[in-house]
Amino acid sequence: MKVFMTGGTGFVGAYLSRELVKQGHEVTILSRREKPPAVQVPGIRLITGDPTQEGSWMGAAPEHQWIINLGGASIFGRWSPAYKQEIYESRIRTTRNLVIALAAGDRRQLLCSASAVGYYGPRGDEVLTEESPQDSDFLARLGADWEAEALKARELGLRVVITRFGIVLGRGGGALGQMAPMFRRFLGGPLGSGKQWFSWIHQGDLARAFSFIAEHPEIHGPVNFTAPNPVRNRDLARALGRALRRPAWLPAPGFMIRLAMGELAESLLTGQRVIPKRLLDAGFKFNFPTIEAALKDLLD
């Protein structure tokens, strides 16, 4: 298929675009930069434009059968009021403009629009599936509004799938790129109490889940992109320590994380216990269902 992708130069998008090309898809990435290094590989076409603004790029999107919307400013940083507004507006405006652009298409397209498990908010030990209600904190409100913009494409006749990401574990960046160096320097350990749940997915399974969605037209609406075995943060630390042959005994106190990260710290210190019920019910098989298997593959 011909694939159009926003956010294709980021950690998740760059990996996903390469995997889709390997599967025989033609991928077009919308980028603010003319030559982003992450995607300079054969089979990927780049067009330049700002998805938060209307522009000539909007004429290209309807030419594709599969639209993947990953665009948005990173949530990882200190949340000043101005940065929270940037996080919010980058997602809402990108998705809104994309749906406007797709109105000129043939109405048989598939739109996979990203969201995140932050939609559910901090829920302790509660097991969360796609049917669980949203919470009311910043990330939950962001997720709900982001998803609502994407779901407007259903009025155009498109099939819309909301991909609610857990933490994506992969090589070359992301959460693992932040955690592993600390463990290698003997500074690794749990965050805060370590009791909070960590819902994650291996980048390989994430790419396979996208392809699975494309091949199963009966799937629509929200789909949790998480491994079937979430872990507590302290168990993640232990597994990472074992994989790197390093101790995992040095916890990061909650007050230090709050000082460093501000409001974002509450999300890091609470977390969600999310299960990919819809993928499992549809018959998707994870290659890396456990954190041990994922880390072994990624860190070998």
* Residue 147 covered by a domain: yes
Judged by average pLDDT, the poorest of 48-52, 75-79, 227-231 is 75-79
* Residue 259 covered by a domain: no
Instruction: Please report where in the chains the tokens 């009021």 appear, as a residue.
Output: 81
**Residues near 17 by beta carbon (within 8 Å), at least 6 away in sequence:** 3, 5, 8, 27, 29, 39, 44
What are the distances in angstroms from CA 198 to CA 39, 81, 124, 180? 29, 26, 11, 16
pLDDT tens figures, 102-141 = 998 777 899 999 999 999 999 999 999 999 999 999 999 9
Q: How many domains does the chain have?
A: 1
pLDDT tens figures, 193-202 = 999 999 999 9
* Residue 277 covered by a domain: no
User: For all residues of the chain together, what is the average pLDDT?
Assistant: 92
CATH label of the domain that carries residue 51: 3.40.50.720
* pLDDT for residue 169: 96
* pLDDT for residue 185: 87
- Tell me how many degrees the CA angle 223-220-135 measures, rounded to the nearest 5: 45
* Residue 289 covered by a domain: no
pLDDT tens figures, 10-45 = 999 999 999 999 999 999 999 987 766 656 678 899
**Residues near 252 by beta carbon (within 8 Å), at least 6 away in sequence:** 189, 190, 191, 192
Report, in this order, helix, strand and coil percent for the chain, each rounded to 5. 45, 20, 35
Q: Which two tokens stand for residue 199?
A: 């819902």
Mean pLDDT of 50-72: 95
Within its chain, how far is the Cα of 59 from the centroid? Answer: 26
Q: Which domain holds residue 26?
A: 2-167+201-227
- Rounded to 5 degrees, φ, ψ at 66 are -130, 120
Rounded CA-CA distance 270/261 in Å is 14
Q: Is the pLDDT of residue 257 over 80?
A: no
* Residue 283 covered by a domain: no
* Residue 16 covered by a domain: yes
